[in-house]
Amino acid sequence: MRPINTIAVGFDGSPDSKVAVRWALTLARHYDAHVVVVHAVGLLGRFDSKNVTTELEESLIALCDECAIVHTRARLEVVDGDACSVMLRMADPPISADLLVVGTRGQGAHAGLLLGSTSLELAEHSPIPLVIVPSS
Amino acid sequence: MMLIINGSTDDAGHEDPGHPERPERLAAALAGVEDLHLGDDLLAVAPYSATRSELVRVHESTYLDQLGAFCYEGGGDLDADTYATYDSWSLAQYAAGAGLAVIKEMRIRGDGVGFVAVRPPGHHALRDRAMGFCLLNNIAVTAAELTSVGERVLIIDWDVHHGNGTQAIFWEDPNVLYVSTHQWPLFPGSGAPFEVGGLNALGATVNLPLPPGATGDVLRQALDETAAPAIDAFKPTWVLVSAGFDAHRADPMADLALSSGDFAQMATFAASFAPAPGRIALFLEGGYDLAALRSSVGAALGALLGSDPANERPTSGGPGAEVVRSNRDAREIALRIAHDASQ
């Protein structure tokens, strides 16, 4: 098994994604790993004038404090694309994540029950280990 | 020259209040056609719903089953961007079939320019997944029909977003040359210059990413210097265009700086590769500023039909000339590496 140096975790600000980030941060502390917290910006992200980056950064700092991990071990990456494609790209350079982490569902993902949620899509296509963190 | 159009299906059932991909877009595009005052040179073909066998050429059967069932159960959000309603499945099948009806008429006549004025748009839709406002990949359904009878299809995608779905569907198909101009970085994040096609179709994908603010002169440079040689070598027998108009400077979805006059020039560029009359069709993709969409549709179709609407002047002076050159180099290096690896 290859060492876990970098963990990429999906984050859209939803309660489920916060659970996933907490889990990833806790694991990172255990393995002395870095965490890349990934936010995918879709088409509507551009159409919506609201800038979510500051909000997500503040959430991330709070989650780091909660998990007792230094802020420099986690950084936010805001990436254009749909959530599944963006997470899959984290396995490639320059991030070269060793582990992907996602919640069971994020914002607007209720349709995933029928059509394959981000987590199920990732389970099918991810070239590296994937952890799906249940919401409870 | 006659304009052969399919866009008469009532699309009002595919709507999500407040969403930018809305029925008014199609009305604006059709107003752009009306502005050309074509009279008897306008032929509207009957709506046609793509059959299962036509759809499974480019989509997985399971996905079609799930999408249909999802819609008939009332629909909802498919992802953070993409919605479907009860009516969406039916309308999407008409959108996917519209291009088939247009090319059928064009093949009978051996003449004309096709315009597939439909929604939902299609170029982000993958084989197994809806994405980026798109449910079924309309242009891919038509391209697959053409290749099934031995045609060689050039797809030029000038939507401001990379057509990741179309690229992925034809990644390994040497009979489809996919050329995309798009803003980068931007959704969906794909479309790098080193994405050149799969091992069976090396060079059959040409990506021309442009920086925010790029103007028409830079885009034309990219097409002339990088795309034109690849198209000449490919020798297409049909030209299909993923005609999104969200690269217009007024569009709220992105940051390119084109005018309607630039779309007229791109249409002329695309038509120059059609080997005979009646071999070019435009498919509506994006375009979210209604006035820009109307004027740009009129400008692009007007250029193909010899009409001359009052277009905005083509643009110039934006950034990106260096990017075009470095992208061309990156593409050549990627092709060399891929060729060596395949030996």
ipTM score for this prediction: 0.83
Residue A1 lies in a domain: no
Q: What is the dihedral of CA B314, B320, B321, B326, to 10 degrees?
A: -140
Write out the catalytic residue numbers of B: 124
Strands B3-6 and B238-243 come out as unpaired
The verdict on whether omega for the bond into residue B314 sits within 30 degrees of 0, i.e. cis, is no
Q: Does B190 touch chain A (CB under 8 A)?
A: yes
A77 in a structural domain? yes
pLDDT, tens digit (0-9, with 9 covering 90-100), for B245-300: 999 999 999 999 999 999 999 999 999 999 999 999 999 999 999 999 999 999 99
Q: How deeply is B17 buried, as exposed, middle or buried, from its count of CB atoms within 10 A (0-12, 13-18, 19+)?
A: exposed
Contact between chains at A115 and B63 (C-beta distance less than 8 A): yes
Q: Is residue A83 part of a domain?
A: yes
The rounded distance, in Å, linking the Cα atoms of A83 and A111 is 14
Interchain contact B70–A (C-beta under 8 A): yes
Per the structure, the complete domain to which residue B116 belongs is given by: 3-342
Pick among B64, B71, B79 to test the A interface (most A CBs inside 10 A)? B79
Q: What is the mean pLDDT of residues B58-83?
A: 94
A59 in a structural domain: yes
pLDDT at B246: 98
Q: What is the CATH number of the domain that holds A34?
A: 3.40.50.620
Q: What is the mean pLDDT of residues B192-219?
A: 97
Let me know: does B236 contact B220? Beta carbons within 8 Å. no
Answer yes or no: do B187 and A89 touch at CB < 8 A. Answer: no
The neighbour count for residue A117, using CB atoms within 10 Å, is 23
Alpha-carbon distance of A116 to A119, in angstroms, equals: 8
pTM: 0.94
Cα B225 to Cα A44, B208, B257, B265, distances in angstroms:
33, 10, 20, 15
Q: What residue of A is the nearest CA neighbor of B251?
A: A47
* Closest by CA position to B261, among listed B235, B231, B292: B292
Contacts of A43 in chain B (CB under 8 A): 81, 132-133, 161, 187, 253
A43/B161 Cβ within 8 A? yes
Give the residue numbers spanning the domain of A46: 6-133
Nearest to A43 among B67, B81, B130 (CB): B81
- Answer yes or no: do B79 and A40 touch at CB < 8 A: no
- Which residues does A85 contact at the CB level (< 8 Å), separation at least 6? A40, B164, B188, B189, B190
**What total number of domains does chain A contain?**
1
Residue B8's pLDDT band, with cuts at 50, 70 and 90, is low
Q: Residue B132 pLDDT more than 80?
A: yes
Selected residues 40-59 of chain A with any CB under 8 Å from a CB in chain B: 40-47
Q: Which residue of A has its CA nearest to B67?
A: A115
| CATH code for the domain of B38 | 3.40.800.20
In chain B, the number of structural domains is 1
A55 assigned to some structural domain: yes
Q: How confident is the model at residue B80 (pLDDT cuts 50, 70, 90)?
A: confident
Tokens 């479309």 — which residue?
B191
- CB-count burial class (<10 Å; 0-12, 13-18, 19+) for B150: exposed
**pLDDT for residue A114 is more than 50:** no
**Is A81 in contact with B189 (CB distance < 8 Å)?**
yes
Expressed in angstroms, the distance from the first to the final Cα of chain A is: 28
Structural domain includes residue A40: yes
In this complex, do B129 and A12 lie within 8 Å of one another by their Cβ atoms? no
Q: Cβ separation of B129 and A116 shorter than 8 Å?
A: yes
